[in-house]
């Protein structure tokens, strides 16, 4: 049976509300919508290289949802909404590869908790997106998928590690998507691709079934073209998971009616936003020319004025923790092998390597990813002795101090959020590597506090710039309110011309 005609459904910039309104009016079907996005992937992904695999069962799932709609109405808040998943999130019906040829045949027996929750909400898993291999870096290159390109300039990086999802959502390959964030991964890719990304408070979203990089930093989050759709997606993703005890902290933190129910165009009235100036400007002269940072700063300065014009009180500057203290709280080198090996022991099949060390030894990693292991102690750390590792324990204590200092600054200045650019510079040209030194990812990553990135405008040469808002623990609702009001006041989202049709 061929899918119904899709001519009446325009997938470009369609939102969850648009899709549901069309379903309820009988104007289209989940099968037609799913087919429309599959057609866009087939027509355009050769130019973008954002997708690793399309779900062969997507249309069957859509037909099931159409039958359910005829019987009972919408099955959930994401009924018939095509979703692109970052390919480090387990799916029972597709391989989960983390972008690695060494894991190309890894087939988990069940979904990651976030994937199961999305399906329960009615979503159609459309495809799995490319990522920085093993999520280890900020370029989005992998041995399995190659290099993903920026949706606004194919000669530039999309950032990473969730660059495949961000580029796919920017190019209208699905309605919403998922990423995961150890440091930057649902923030700088959305900023570079003119979409919205959310890093939730640690404990709001389950980590079960997600290929790990650093257990104490990893969290999944939504990527969408609008703040409202990001809120709707997080509504579905969040929730307590007995298999991930940290989610007990986030139990019942989502409003009963969902985050999207409280969005208000006047959400900036009376808000207090602090500008964290230490995250502006070039950090390393060898990363890029100073003019690159100046182009980002100019856009963010305009955004600050727009926040103020929309009703916010801007406190500028606000001193938070300095970079040296942030760097002293790094733990990835200690946790990576331990956490990755634990995932393999629970999830991967006989065809997969048994450990991170074994995977690296295959020689199959993308050269840029393999190079990141050089000069590190990642493979030399005794994972069984971390409870007695003084360096690791010291970094964890420093992390608590950084978190306390950040919360104190928010309290002392009565701030709703801190504001800064997710990256100090725009996307670099391929094959250059996006410099991690210019990423402002560690404040949220090391404190576990929530952050949202929203489009803020474009550089003179047409590259998107985002602005990041970091809030208090489990203050996602307030961040959504602020970002939504800014989005409605400014309308900085523009679909990329190359993929606008």
* CB contact set of 333 (below 8 Å; sequence gap of 6+): 376, 377, 378, 381
Among 106, 135, 159, 161, which one carries the catalytic annotation?
161
Please state, in angstroms and rounded to a whole number, the distance separating the CA atoms of residues 254 and 219: 16
Give the tokens for residue 260. Answer: 């999207």
Catalytic: 86? yes
Please state, in angstroms and rounded to a whole number, the distance separating the CA atoms of residues 368 and 138: 11
Catalytic: 161? yes
**Residue 466: its H or E element:** strand 464-470
Among 185, 206, 287, 352, which one carries the catalytic annotation?
185
Class of residue 194 by CB neighbours under 10 A (exposed 0-12, middle 13-18, buried 19+) = buried
* Distances from the Cα of 232 to the Cα of 81, 201, 270, 290, angstroms: 11, 16, 25, 39
Give the tokens for residue 397. Answer: 């204590």
Q: How many residues does the chain have?
A: 501
Give the tokens for residue 313. Answer: 């009180």
Class of residue 494 by CB neighbours under 10 A (exposed 0-12, middle 13-18, buried 19+) = middle
Q: Is residue 48 within 8 Å of 165, Cβ to Cβ? A: no
Apex CA 167: angle with CA 129 and CA 40, to 5°? 80
Report the SS3 class of residue 363: coil
Residue entry with tokens 């679909």: 495
Catalytic: 128? no
Helix residue ranges, H only, 288-421: 290-309, 323-327, 332-347, 356-361, 367-373, 390-412
Residues marked active site are found at 86, 161, 185
């Amino acid at each position: 049976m061929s899918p119904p005609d899709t001519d009446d459904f325009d997938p470009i910039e369609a939102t969850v509300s648009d899709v549901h309104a069309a379903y309820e009016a009988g104007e289209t079907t989940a099968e037609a919508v799913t087919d429309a996005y599959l057609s866009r992937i087939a027509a355009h992904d050769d130019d973008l290289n954002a997708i690793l695999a399309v779900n062969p069962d997507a249309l069957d799932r859509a037909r099931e949802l159409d039958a359910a709609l005829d019987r009972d109405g919408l099955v959930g808040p994401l009924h018939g909404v095509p979703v692109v998943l970052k390919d480090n999130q387990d799916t029972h019906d597709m391989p989960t590869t983390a972008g690695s040829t060494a894991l190309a045949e890894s087939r988990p027996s069940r979904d990651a908790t976030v994937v199961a929750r999305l399906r329960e909400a009615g979503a159609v898993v459309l495809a799995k997106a490319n990522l920085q291999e093993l999520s280890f870096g900020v370029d989005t290159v992998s041995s399995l998928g190659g290099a993903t390109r920026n949706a606004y300039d194919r000669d530039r990086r999309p950032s990473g590690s969730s660059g495949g999802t961000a580029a796919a959502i920017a190019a209208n390959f699905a309605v919403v998507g998922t990423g995961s964030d150890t440091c930057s991964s649902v923030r700088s890719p959305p900023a570079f691709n003119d979409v919205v990304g959310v890093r939730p408070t640690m404990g709001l979203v389950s980590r079960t079934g997600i290929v790990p990089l650093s257990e104490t930093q990893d969290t999944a989050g939504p990527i969408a073209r609008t703040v409202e759709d990001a809120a709707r997606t997080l509504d579905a993703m969040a929730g307590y998971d007995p298999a991930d005890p940290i989610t007990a902290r986030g139990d019942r933190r989502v409003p009963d009616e969902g985050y999207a129910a409280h969005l208000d165009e006047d959400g900036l009235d009376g808000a207090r936003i602090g500008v964290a100036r230490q995250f502006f400007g070039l950090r390393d002269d060898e990363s890029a020319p100073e003019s690159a940072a100046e182009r980002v700063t100019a856009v963010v300065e305009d955004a600050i004025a727009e926040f103020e014009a929309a009703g916010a009180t801007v406190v500028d500057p606000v001193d938070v923790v300095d970079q040296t203290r942030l760097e002293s709280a790094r733990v990835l080198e200690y946790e990576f092998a331990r956490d990755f090996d634990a995932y393999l022991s629970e999830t991967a099949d006989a065809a997969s390597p048994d450990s991170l060390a074994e995977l690296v030894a295959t020689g199959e990693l993308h050269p840029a990813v393999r190079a990141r292991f050089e000069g590190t102690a990642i493979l030399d750390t005794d994972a069984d002795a971390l409870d007695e590792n003084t360096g690791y324990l010291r970094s964890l204590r420093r992390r608590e101090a950084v978190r306390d200092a950040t919360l104190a600054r928010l309290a002392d200045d009565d701030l709703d959020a801190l504001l800064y650019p997710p990256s100090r510079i725009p996307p670099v040209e391929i094959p250059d590597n996006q410099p991690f030194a210019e990423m402002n990812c560690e404040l949220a990553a090391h404190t576990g506090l929530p952050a949202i990135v929203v489009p803020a405008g474009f550089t003179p040469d047409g590259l998107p710039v985002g602005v990041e808002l970091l809030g208090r623990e489990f203050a996602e609702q307030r961040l959504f309110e602020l970002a939504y009001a800014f989005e409605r006041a400014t309308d900085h989202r523009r679909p990329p011309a190359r993929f606008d049709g």
